[in-house]
A = this chain, B = another copy of it.
Amino acid sequence: MRSISLKAKSLDMETGRNIVVLHEQDAEELGHFVGDRVKLVAPKATLVAIANTTKRMVQRGEIGAFIEVTEALGLKPGDILSVTLVSRPRSVDFIKKKMAGQQLSTEEVNAIVDDIVARNLSSTEMTAFVVSECIRGMSTSEIVALTRRMVDSGDKLELGISPVLDVHSIGGVPGNKYSLVTVPIVAAAGLAVPKTSSRAITSAAGTADVMEVLANVTLGMDEIKRIVQKVGAVLAWGGAVKLAPADDIIIGVERTLGVDPRCQLLASVMSKKLAVGADRILIDIPTGPGAKVETTDQARSFAHDFMELGRRLDVQVEVAITYGGQPVGYAVGPALEAREALETLRGNGPGSLVEKATSLAGIMLELGGAASAGMGRQMAHEILNSGKANQKMCEIIEAQGGNPDVKPEDIPIGDKKEVILALHDGYVTHIDNGSINKIARATGAPRGKGAGLRVILKEGRKISKGEPLLEIYAEHEAKLDDALAIAKRSPPITIGGMLLEKMTHRPHMG
């Protein structure tokens, strides 16, 4: 193959991939067309990059290198690169094979994951993979291969012990702060729980956002290991460590497109858990109107897939189908949720949160062998009521550099507040997750730690005209106004008579 020499020009722009730009005529000279790869030989390093063409960004004889390529090659202005056309990576053929509906072998899945991590695939190729996953789905074998390779593509936590417990909620419910209660309960029983979690993306608070109110969550792998070895558990932000980075890149594409193929979700959850060495995993599937999974049938089918995947990956997986039709507890937003979690650990928690946190902890205690079959939930309640879970949470907070003596009421919340009142008497017949989420986002959460909202009454409760329904908190007046405007447009709470439907029986005439 012919090669040409081009002068490097650094382009101060991130692309998330290894991309260079050639002048159209140089590209033609090389025999290039869009989406092709070029091998770049620089004075100090060599790299394969995706080549795009331009008429004006670079001149003939120049090659434009975006930040990733400039850094990988250690380019200096004026460096001369030898540029050769190379063929597409084989993984592109495998993506097209999946597109055609064929089953991929483990080696083929591995090649795709490896090229994703090496930033060798264009956004077009990555999208083709994600769309094919959505339409064609993946067999369990393919998901197993995908999970394993994604784990291997990143950092791993090696505690050298078993059991290692973990819990993951597939999300979609506002106020889902249960892990700040569940994890200390399980750790208080002597089990290891290296819990990593994400920040909110489209919701008002992820577990990492809530925990960050109480302690540092941006922890390196060494710190996580040290903390788990010392106090038995951690509540860290997964984004600070490179757990299954291929997954994060794929999720980026999914988010742009607004899709969430089940096969990728399965592989994503399992890979994050395997990367921290968990071998006893509890999956929480919040189910109900407005949650990610809306019906029990869907939840059961999901649960089956998770358990089958666990079996194939040699880890023990249990699944809890929990009610996700309205917020868990009352508080939504980082500081408000942190307050509620601490209150719960101190024995003053709302019923739905205590219920969820202890149910999940109970399953984990049994999974980890700390409780005998059927006794987990009772043990979880005892640990919570005895104050041991609260004590454990103090240890975790301290180990993560927070104030172990923090009291719920010490946590600052937004000083701009508005209360929404009931317009008429009746019963709370519906709380809309989507609307609650939008309002809470508008208050400025999760970035505004003190922003968020508190639901006053849950579904089924009686309310009189003029009584408070919802408290909204913000750190800035403008955000409070935004949130109120949304609450007006899409009411989060419906009040109606208890008689939801009236059916009259009409006798048959014939």
| Set of chain B residues within 8 Å of A508, measured between Cβ atoms | none
- Against B, the Cβ 8 Å flags (1 = close, 0 = not) of A478-507 are 100010000000000000000000000000
Q: Are A124 and B257 in contact (CB under 8 A)?
A: yes
Partner of A256, one of B28, B29, B35, B101: B35
Min Cβ gap A474→B in Å is: 12
The verdict on A252 contacting B34 (CB below 8 Å), with A96-B258, A127-B131, A257-B125 known, is yes
| Set of chain B residues within 8 Å of A131, measured between Cβ atoms | 99, 127-128, 131-132, 135
Q: Are A478 and B2 in contact (CB under 8 A)?
A: yes
Q: Does A263 make an interface contact (CB < 8 A)? A: no
Closest residue of chain B to A482, judged by CB? B2
Q: Does A269 make an interface contact (CB < 8 A)? A: no
Partner of A96, one of B34, B101, B259: B259
Q: Does A467 make an interface contact (CB < 8 A)? A: no
Which residues of chain A in 118-151 are interfacial with respect to chain B, using CB atoms and an 8 Å cutoff? 122-125, 127-128, 131-132, 134-136
Considering the chains assembled together, what is the distance between the CA atoms of A258 and B202 in angstroms? 34
The verdict on A442 contacting B123 (CB below 8 Å), with A99-B135, A128-B131, A259-B96 known, is no
| Set of chain B residues within 8 Å of A170, measured between Cβ atoms | none
Closest residue of chain B to A127, judged by CB? B127
| Copies of the chain in the assembly | 2
Q: Does A161 make an interface contact (CB < 8 A)? A: no
Q: Does A44 make an interface contact (CB < 8 A)? A: no
Interface range for A:
35 or more
Q: Are A256 and B34 in contact (CB under 8 A)?
A: yes
Considering the chains assembled together, what is the distance between the CA atoms of A294 and B124 in angstroms? 28
| Set of chain B residues within 8 Å of A92, measured between Cβ atoms | 258
Q: Are A124 and B123 in contact (CB under 8 A)?
A: yes
Considering the chains assembled together, what is the distance between the CA atoms of A54 and B67 in angstroms? 12
The verdict on A124 contacting B256 (CB below 8 Å), with A131-B132, A442-B31 known, is yes
| Set of chain B residues within 8 Å of A201, measured between Cβ atoms | 33
* Interface pairs A-B: 10 shortest CB-CB: A35-B256, A127-B127, A131-B131, A124-B256, A124-B127, A128-B131, A135-B135, A34-B256, A13-B57, A28-B447
Task: Other than A33-B201, A132-B135, give 15 A-B pairs with Cβ distance below 8 A.
Answer: A11-B13, A13-B13, A14-B54, A14-B55, A28-B447, A33-B202, A34-B255, A35-B256, A35-B258, A96-B257, A122-B256, A127-B127, A127-B128, A128-B131, A131-B132
Q: List 25 A-B contacts (CB under 8 A).
A: A1-B482, A12-B56, A13-B54, A13-B57, A14-B57, A29-B447, A31-B441, A34-B256, A35-B256, A56-B67, A88-B258, A92-B258, A96-B257, A96-B259, A99-B259, A122-B256, A123-B127, A124-B127, A124-B253, A124-B256, A124-B257, A125-B256, A131-B131, A131-B132, A131-B135
